[in-house]
Amino acid sequence: MIGNLPTVLAQGGVDWISFDIGRLVDQFWYNTVNGLAYGSIYSLVAVGYTLVYGVLKLINFAHSEVFIVGAFGAYFTFQFLGYESGGIAQAPLIETIVNLVLALAVAMICSGLVALTLERVAYRPLRRKKAPRLVFLITAVGASFAIQQAIMLWRNPNPELAIQLVAPQPLFEVFGVSVTNIQLTVFLAALVLLLVADSFINRTRLGRGIRAVAQDPDTATLMGVNKERVIMLTFVIGGLLAGAAALFYIMQIPQGVVYNGGFLLGIKAFTAAVLGGIGNLRGALLGGFLLGVFENYGQSLLGGQWRDVVAFVVLIVILMFRPTGILGESLGKARV
Amino acid sequence: MNAHHFRSGTATKVPFGQRIRDWWNGLSRFHQWAIIIPVVVLVYLMPFLNFFPITTEPGTDFELALFNTARIVLIAIGLNVVVGQAGLLDLGYVGFFAIGAYVAALMTSRDSALYAEYPWLLVVVVGIAVTMVSGVIIGTPTLRLRGDYLAIVTLGFGEIVRLLADNIPALRGNVGFRNLERPPGEWSDGTRIFTQGDGIPWYWLTVTAIIAVLILVGNLERSRVGRAWVAIREDEDAAEIMGVPTFRFKVWAFVIGAAIGGLSGVLYAGQLGFVNNARFDVVTSVLFLAAVILGGSGNKVGVILGAIVIAYTPERFQVVSEYRYLIFGLALIVLMIFRPQGLLGARQRLLARGRQAYKRLVGKPEPVSTESPMKDAGKRTGV
């Protein structure tokens, strides 16, 4: 009966949701460090969303699949290099670094190629027909779906057996929290890549082309910018960064190589992009780190099973109250 | 090349689809009914047309396949109200379907603490009411957004519904609810009419629900509400300026769509007799959307056709079943490039009395435009 409702909600213990401020405070620094390491992955993927949105005003829904293809690329590179699943490889440091760089290159190339193909095969015909935005979005959803399912049919629905090149080892402590070698590497490498991307957009000739098209495609074309090439470049940059993110992701979560592993991460990265201000490269960076950290705080506060809900709630709240995000500046207006 | 290009060119050849439409519009109301009624009877007789080209391969129950198809048709009609008629891209529609199924489970499964011997019709009514309320709850904050942002936020809400089912112990996660109550009634020999194994009664029940919903939605379409939806779909700003309270009508579209999704959820839960947290993911939402887009969003006959294609082909051909999501994903891409309006696009047409007046004054039926409802969607601004 309806009168049972309170008992029903308490069923299976009352701790299905908590509001544990003590735990939040206790784990604050731990969560911050962890969150930044995760957040750098979100940032890298978010750049892909933000660049494409800035130039085409399109939510590239299939970007999550661009990411996961990179993860598979890195995984198969590991296999090719002779690493076995299960246990942690014990290779000399130099060899490990070389292999990681190789995997990084392969992942970036795979993702970049998928992004480029997607642009050429799916989106370009629509642009030629001047299709409305919803048509683009539906195409993106379809592409995401198709790539995901193709991977599933190829590899089966189970995650690939984890391959771990490096064991996480604590390097040093910040605020009483140990930072592992993996976290530090991922954070620094992501930061470097993001800075490279940022200066590419802001300081090079090609980057100026991207900003010009984002601001006003027609005028940019009149000024001699090749719009089609700029759009291709945008997808490729987004793809390359997503590929890098994919390698960092499977370094942290070796069991994450699965056909639908990109979906949730894609939504979160999109949330990060919106949080920082979609269309704004530095916004993607900020949003990624913030979301990574918020997610961990939420997990401490409400319980681990609510981790993913936090991201969705952040997305909804931001879109409702400040859809332009924190930095709110568009790619076209970014200062040099 | 779509039908529109043919007509605007110098070619005098009228495409087949257009001829059918003109012929249909030229018929009187009486003649139209004279065709509809036999078609409906034929639809009811479907379970007995279990022979070669229609029937399923061995291993798939034909009657249950029919029921599942009818269920997807019902969902597609509901989603079409939101996507096709009001032009709101909803990627979280499966959430409403899930809510309907869970209401049925909570009320009629002995695994639930809320269980009591409710009459089955009450379950349907409560299921619809709860989904309508959740439509208001979800619609009120999100419908201030437009276009692709709305799509992403509805996706978020759909996922939240699923995660709630995962995380709240009272909703029993993967374990789920067993032995759901089915509609009452016995055959003359004392066995129950509605069982899990026999698809025929469920199919008839669903077809009846579809007809009721079609009549309801058709009437709404011709009413003030329907005109407001079309206005919002075609140009929201213009509609607002013309005095259409756009936000309120968008919430209405959401709520009506939700109600139909909820009804379909209740039916699904009843037939299966079991509800857990599986099958309510985004993939399912996209599949529903594919049915609407494939058939032609905004066109009721179109979405029915789309749903039949999406739901029945995998049941009919085992080969398709394995690759269905891949095929439908690719179909969406190809369709958007070559025929964005779907198999049968939405028609712009005069409504009710306007149609009669046109015919009387001009002496022939009004021309029906085949412009896609998506045609001007791009002019809308993002947020």
Residue with tokens 């079309």: B230
State pLDDT tens for residues B312-352: 888 777 777 778 888 888 888 888 888 887 777 776 666 66
Task: Report the gap between the CA of A270 and the closest CA in chain B (Å).
Answer: 9
Asked if the C-beta of A14 comes within 8 angstroms of chain B's C-beta atoms, the answer is no
CA B330, chain centre distance (Å): 21
Q: Is residue A52 part of a domain?
A: yes
Determine the residue of chain B that is closest to A13 in CA distance.
B169
CATH at residue A147: 1.10.3470
Considering only CA atoms, give the Rg of chain A.
Answer: 21
Q: Is the pLDDT of residue B1 over 60?
A: no
Cα–Cα distance for residue pair A235/A210, rounded to 1 Å: 11
Task: Report the gap between the CA of A153 and the closest CA in chain B (Å).
Answer: 8
Determine the residue of chain A that is closest to B115 in CA distance.
A1
| Nearest-CB residue to B114 (from A8, A58, A147) | A8
Residue among B333, B371, B376 with most chain A CBs within 10 A, to mutate: B333
Q: With residue A172 as reference, give the H or E element that holds it.
A: strand A170-174
Q: Is residue B348 part of a domain?
A: no
Q: Is residue A5 part of a domain?
A: no
pLDDT band at B6 (very low <50, low <70, confident <90, very high): very low
Q: Is the pLDDT of residue A234 over 60?
A: yes
Cβ A288 vs Cβ A46: under 8 Å: yes
Q: Is residue B257 part of a domain?
A: yes
Output A319 or B300, whichever has higher pLDDT. Answer: B300
Q: Is residue B191 part of a domain?
A: yes
Cβ A60 vs Cβ A52: under 8 Å: yes
Which tokens hold the place of B108? 């009629």
Which tokens hold the place of A276? 């920082």
**Contact yes or no for B163 and A1 at CB 8 A:** no
Asked if the C-beta of B283 comes within 8 angstroms of chain A's C-beta atoms, the answer is yes
**Contact yes or no for B378 and A131 at CB 8 A:** yes
H-type helices in chain B, by residue range?
3-8, 16-26, 29-45, 62-80, 94-108, 120-142, 147-167, 199-222, 224-234, 236-241, 246-272, 282-295, 300-316, 318-338, 353-362
Residue among B164, B337, B381 with most chain A CBs within 10 A, to mutate: B337
Q: Is the pLDDT of residue A209 over 70?
A: yes
Cβ B248 vs Cβ B284: under 8 Å: no
* Closest alpha carbon to B344 in B309, B318, B379: B309
Q: Is residue A4 part of a domain?
A: no
Find residues 84-143 of chain B whose CB sits inside 8 Å of chain A: 87, 89, 91, 112-114, 116, 141-142
**Tell me, what's the pLDDT at A330?**
61
**Tell me, what's the pLDDT at A278?**
82
Cβ B149 vs Cβ B382: under 8 Å: yes
As for how many domains chain A has, the answer is: 1
Cα–Cα distance for residue pair B21/B25, rounded to 1 Å: 6
Q: Is residue A152 part of a domain?
A: yes
Contacts of B136 (CB under 8 A, 6+ apart): B251, B254, B255
Lowest mean pLDDT among A307-321, B32-46, B140-154, B367-381: B367-381
Beta bridge partners of B177: B275
| Nearest-CB residue to B329 (from A131, A142, A267) | A142
Burial (0-12, 13-18, 19+ Cβ within 10 Å), A109:
middle
Three-point CA angle B37, B39, B41, nearest 5°: 70
**Tell me, what's the pLDDT at B285?**
87
Q: Is residue A99 part of a domain?
A: yes
Cα–Cα distance for residue pair B58/B66, rounded to 1 Å: 15
Q: For residue B264, give its domain range.
A: 61-283
Average pLDDT of the segment spanning B232-259? 91
**Contact yes or no for A270 and B152 at CB 8 A:** yes
Rounded to a whole number of angstroms, the distance between the first and last alpha carbons of chain A is 65
**Contact yes or no for B333 and A312 at CB 8 A:** no
Considering only CA atoms, give the Rg of chain B.
Answer: 21
Cα–Cα distance for residue pair A17/B175, rounded to 1 Å: 19
Asked if the C-beta of A18 comes within 8 angstroms of chain B's C-beta atoms, the answer is no
Q: Is residue A205 part of a domain?
A: yes
Q: Is the pLDDT of residue B252 over 90?
A: yes
CB pairs under 8 A between A and B: 158
**Tell me, what's the pLDDT at B377?**
46
Task: Report the gap between the CA of A179 and the closest CA in chain B (Å).
Answer: 31
Residue among A5, A138, A267, A295 with most chain B CBs within 10 A, to mutate: A138
Cα–Cα distance for residue pair B6/B8, rounded to 1 Å: 6
Three-point CA angle A124, B79, B105, nearest 5°: 130
What percent of chain A has a predicted confidence (pLDDT) above 70?
92
Q: For residue A162, give its domain range.
A: 17-169+176-333
Task: Report the gap between the CA of B301 and the closest CA in chain A (Å).
Answer: 21
pLDDT band at B13 (very low <50, low <70, confident <90, very high): low
Q: Is residue A189 part of a domain?
A: yes
* Closest alpha carbon to A112 in A48, A51, A53, A199: A48
Find residues 226-265 of chain A whose CB sits inside 8 Å of chain B: 263
pLDDT band at A14 (very low <50, low <70, confident <90, very high): low
Q: Is residue B376 part of a domain?
A: no
Determine the residue of chain A that is closest to B290 in CA distance.
A142
Rounded to a whole number of angstroms, the distance between the first and last alpha carbons of chain B is 32
Best mean pLDDT range from A302-316, B11-25, B129-143, B158-172? B129-143
State pLDDT tens for residues A63-79: 999 999 999 999 999 88
Q: Is the pLDDT of residue B132 over 90?
A: yes
Beta bridge partners of B186: B192
Average pLDDT of the segment spanning B291-314? 87
Cβ A272 vs Cβ A284: under 8 Å: yes
Task: Report the gap between the CA of B125 and the closest CA in chain A (Å).
Answer: 16
As for how many domains chain B has, the answer is: 1
Q: Is residue A9 part of a domain?
A: no
Residue with tokens 């929290």: A177
Which tokens hold the place of A96? 């490990």
Average pLDDT of the segment spanning B178-182? 80
State pLDDT tens for residues B53-92: 777 666 678 888 889 899 999 999 999 999 988 888 888 8
| Nearest-CB residue to A139 (from B91, B116, B336) | B336
Find residues 270-299 of chain A whose CB sits inside 8 Å of chain B: 270
Q: Which residues of chain A are within 8 Å of residue B152 when distances are taken between CB atoms?
A: 59, 267, 270, 315, 319
Find residues 134-173 of chain A whose CB sits inside 8 Å of chain B: 134-139, 141-150, 153
Contacts of A99 (CB under 8 A, 6+ apart): A77, A78, A81, A83, A91, A165
Cα–Cα distance for residue pair A327/B1, rounded to 1 Å: 44
Q: Which residues of chain A are within 8 Å of residue B141 when distances are taken between CB atoms?
A: 316, 320
State pLDDT tens for residues A137-189: 888 988 998 999 899 888 888 888 888 777 778 878 777 788 888 888 899 99
